[in-house]
Amino acid sequence: MSIAKVIEVLAEGSNIEDAVQNAVTEASRTVKNIKHVYLSETQALIDNNRVEKYRVNVKVTFVVEK
């Protein structure tokens, strides 16, 4: 039987896919066995009436090593 743990991570990127990838990349520096992420919230950051970047709130699920 394996145990999974969930952490919440905020990240930014030039598009939603980049923001999610940045969250996974940064989380994987200290967390191993990442299995999936759940995108729970998305924001678009606006400057001068234009979307400049996206911010995502993701829940990262990983398996705890025995």
Q: The CATH number of the domain where 36 resides is what?
A: 3.30.1660.10
Q: Residue 2: pLDDT above 90?
A: no
pLDDT digits (tens, 9 = 90+) for 27-46: 999 999 999 999 999 999 99
Contacts 24+ apart (CB under 8 A), 20-24: 20/56, 20/58, 23/56, 23/58, 23/60, 24/58, 24/60
User: Number of folded domains in the chain?
Assistant: 1
Print the domain residue range for 51: 3-64
User: Which has the higher per-residue pLDDT, 13 or 2?
Assistant: 13
- Global pTM reads 0.87
